[in-house]
């Protein structure tokens, strides 16, 4: 890596992801049995390296990886046929070996990935405790697609200033000051007028395409990205180019939203406009002007990563709100704009009667990262008047450390029992477990009417399937047939939101 990257968190991440794409391409060429590769990270606390972060790579014979990977360090093969460096069935030359880390685990990787590592750490080489970052898959056109699957879990480390606290023992280079954030170029008179038209009709592609054409005619990279973002069907080469342009220019494209958006938390769609963002405010900044930023109108999904969670009346294009606390719901209800939310995710056990009016128009309501579940926790929900309006009600319980398989306790089955009598006739209840940096999924119990079934989501592995079947056997759960219970590319629930957050 170049010297200028040593205090640039995004540059380190981009370098690592780009190396992963290149090495996955070579690996797929030499290993036809591999259909997908997962890159993950784990922070190994209290070792001789001082909180080193390790990059891990696991190969899968299926297009959709399962999770977690268990192989007992090569003593026994994984149940799902996957392999890591400890149990690789073939020892070959460099091209046939699994990709190797791109960043030094004692220095660069610590700065780059700590914000995405869960607190308990993954041990040294224990793939069962790794937090997935990206999936490389063989594309239908012969290329390689890389999907980013992650969530910032320690937002205070998701900052270029994180490098200032690095352990100098493991760095040969002198510390450099953080690079300043790039800024959006001032609007020309023509651009400003065209952008105002976009803001006035955020759901209409017409004004966006006019502005993209304006940029294309002038050789502006925003025009190139915009044209590629409207290209359907896109090739793997097009998708890689879009990712590259976001890496190079995404922070500048955020414009005045930049101070509110996590380094790893912006996705752009239908032009170079932020569509999905992770909001993480810097504690020492002046955020008084953020609520009046006009660019909020183009944001479709907001995920709150930190405790300070602003809500702007200008979020008129918002359709998804994730990890929202009570104060945000109050602002949402009081907002004159009344965004047409389709999905609302909550992170605090709030009394439904206090915020029920904020559910106007909401079709999917989600409780996220619940730790406990008592006998009477569902009682306040009986008074909620919007049950018949909801299409889906989701409950996601937190998992910690080695409980990565999920369904190893009775929280899920108790929640199903408690909410079954409350559901509206057309409301589907989904109950599952989520872990770590949001990339891990599992088996989800789906209740509609009197029918209870199990569904695979995200990284559901065979152990998770067996645990769910055992936990819900008394509740009448019907396991899916083998061909349906295999993991799919489903983007339902929480993974639909998180999988779209890019670097």
Which range (145-159, 269-283, 322-336) has the least confidence?
322-336
134 contacts 149 by C-beta, under 8 angstroms: yes
DSSP 396: E
333 occurs within a structural domain: no
pLDDT of residue 193: 97
DSSP collapsed to 3 states, 193-259: HHHHHHHHCCCCHHHHHHHHHHHHHCCCHHHHHHHHHCCCCCCHHHHHHHHHHHHHHHHHHCHHHHH
Q: Are residues 190 and 103 in the same domain?
A: no
More confident residue, 372 or 33: 33
Per mean pLDDT, which of 70-74, 271-275, 281-285, 476-480 is the most reliable?
A: 271-275
Burial 94-127 (b: 16+ CB within 10 A, else e): eeebbbebbbbbbbbbbbbbbbbbbeebbbeebb
154 occurs within a structural domain: yes
319 occurs within a structural domain: no
- Given pLDDT bands bounded at 50, 70 and 90, which one contains residue 443? confident
Mean predicted lDDT score pLDDT of the chain: 79
Across the range 5-19, mean pLDDT stands at: 82
pLDDT of residue 484: 36
Judged by DSSP in three states, 367 sits in strand
Whether 197 has a pLDDT exceeding 70, the answer reads yes
Q: Are residues 165 and 210 in the same domain?
A: no
Whether 474 has a pLDDT exceeding 80, the answer reads no
> At which of 263, 294, 313 does a domain end?
313
Would the CA dihedral through 153, 159, 164, 166 be positive or negative? positive
Rounded distance, CA 331 to CA 366, Å? Answer: 19
Across the range 285-291, mean pLDDT stands at: 71
Rounded distance, CA 161 to CA 105, Å? Answer: 19
pTM as predicted: 0.82
368 contacts 348 by C-beta, under 8 angstroms: no
**Beta-strand pair 36-44/131-138:** antiparallel
Q: Are residues 8 and 124 in the same domain?
A: yes
Q: Are residues 307 and 202 in the same domain?
A: yes
Percent of the chain whose pLDDT exceeds 90: 29
- Given pLDDT bands bounded at 50, 70 and 90, which one contains residue 485? very low
Per mean pLDDT, which of 38-52, 91-105, 480-494 is the most reliable?
A: 91-105
**14-29 pLDDT, tens per residue?**
999 999 999 999 999 9
- Closest by Cα among 413, 427, 424 to 473: 413
pLDDT of residue 228: 94
pLDDT of residue 233: 79
Q: Are residues 191 and 133 in the same domain?
A: no
Whether 162 has a pLDDT exceeding 80, the answer reads no
Q: Are residues 194 and 104 in the same domain?
A: no
Q: How many domains in the chain? A: 2
Q: Are residues 152 and 108 in the same domain?
A: yes
Q: Are residues 115 and 238 in the same domain?
A: no
Residues of the domain holding 235? 184-313
> At which of 313, 338, 368 does a domain end?
313
Whether 212 has a pLDDT exceeding 60, the answer reads yes
Q: Are residues 85 and 159 in the same domain?
A: yes
Per mean pLDDT, which of 20-29, 334-343, 382-391 is the most reliable?
A: 20-29
**393-422 pLDDT, tens per residue?**
999 887 755 445 678 888 888 888 888 888
**294-316 pLDDT, tens per residue?**
999 999 999 888 766 778 888 88
Q: Are residues 84 and 128 in the same domain?
A: yes
């Amino acid at each position: 890596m170049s010297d200028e990257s040593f205090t640039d968190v995004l540059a380190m991440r981009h370098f690592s992801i780009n190396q992963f794409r290149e090495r996955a391409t070579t690996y797929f060429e030499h290993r036809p049995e591999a259909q997908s590769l997962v890159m993950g990270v784990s922070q190994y606390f209290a070792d001789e390296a001082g909180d080193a972060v390790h990059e891990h790579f696991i190969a899968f014979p299926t297009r959709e990886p399962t999770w977690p990977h268990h192989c007992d360090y090569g003593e026994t093969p994984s149940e799902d046929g996957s392999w890591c460096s400890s149990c690789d069935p073939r020892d070959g030359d460099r091209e046939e070996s699994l990709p190797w880390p791109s960043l030094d685990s004692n220095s660069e990787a610590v700065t780059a990935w700590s914000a995405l590592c869960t607190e308990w750490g993954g041990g040294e080489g224990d793939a069962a405790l790794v937090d997935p970052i990206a999936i490389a898959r063989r594309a239908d056109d012969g290329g390689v697609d890389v999907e980013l699957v992650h969530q910032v879990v320690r937002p205070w480390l998701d900052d270029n200033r994180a490098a200032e606290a690095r352990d100098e023992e493991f760095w040969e280079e002198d510390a450099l000051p953080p690079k300043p954030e790039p800024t959006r170029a001032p609007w020309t008179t023509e651009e400003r007028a065209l952008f105002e038209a976009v803001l006035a009709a955020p759901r209409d592609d017409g004004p966006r395409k006019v502005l993209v054409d304006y940029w294309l005619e002038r050789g502006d990279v925003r025009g190139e990205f915009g044209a590629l973002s409207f290209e359907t069907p896109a090739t793997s080469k097009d998708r890689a180019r879009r990712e590259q342009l976001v890496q190079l220019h995404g922070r500048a494209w955020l414009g005045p939203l930049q101070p509110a958006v996590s380094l790893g938390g912006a996705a752009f769609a239908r032009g170079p406009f932020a569509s999905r963002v992770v909001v993480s405010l810097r504690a020492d900044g002046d955020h008084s002007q953020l609520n009046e930023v006009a660019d909020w109108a183009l944001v479709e999904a907001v995920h709150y990563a930190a405790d300070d969670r602003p809500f702007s009346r200008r979020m008129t294009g918002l359709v998804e709100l994730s990890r929202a606390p009570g104060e945000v719901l109050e602002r949402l209800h009081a907002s004159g704009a009344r965004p047409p939310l389709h999905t609302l995710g909550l992170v605090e056990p709030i009394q439904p009667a206090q915020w029920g009016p904020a559910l106007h128009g909401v079709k999917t309501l989600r409780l996220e990262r619940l730790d406990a579940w008592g006998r009477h926790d569902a009682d306040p929900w009986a008074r909620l008047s919007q049950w018949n309006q909801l299409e889906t009600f989701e409950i996601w319980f937190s998992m910690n450390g080695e409980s990565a398989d999920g369904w190893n306790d009775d929280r899920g089955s108790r929640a199903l029992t408690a909410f079954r009598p409350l559901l509206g006739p057309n409301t589907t209840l989904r109950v599952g477990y989520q872990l770590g940096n949001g990339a891990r999924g599992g088996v989800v119990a789906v209740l509609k009417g009197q029918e209870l079934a199990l569904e695979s989501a995200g990284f559901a592995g065979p152990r998770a399937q067996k645990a769910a079947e055992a936990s819900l056997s008394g509740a009448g759960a019907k396991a899916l047939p083998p061909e349906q219970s295999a993991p799919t590319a489903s983007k339902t629930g929480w993974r639909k939101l998180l999988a779209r957050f890019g670097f």
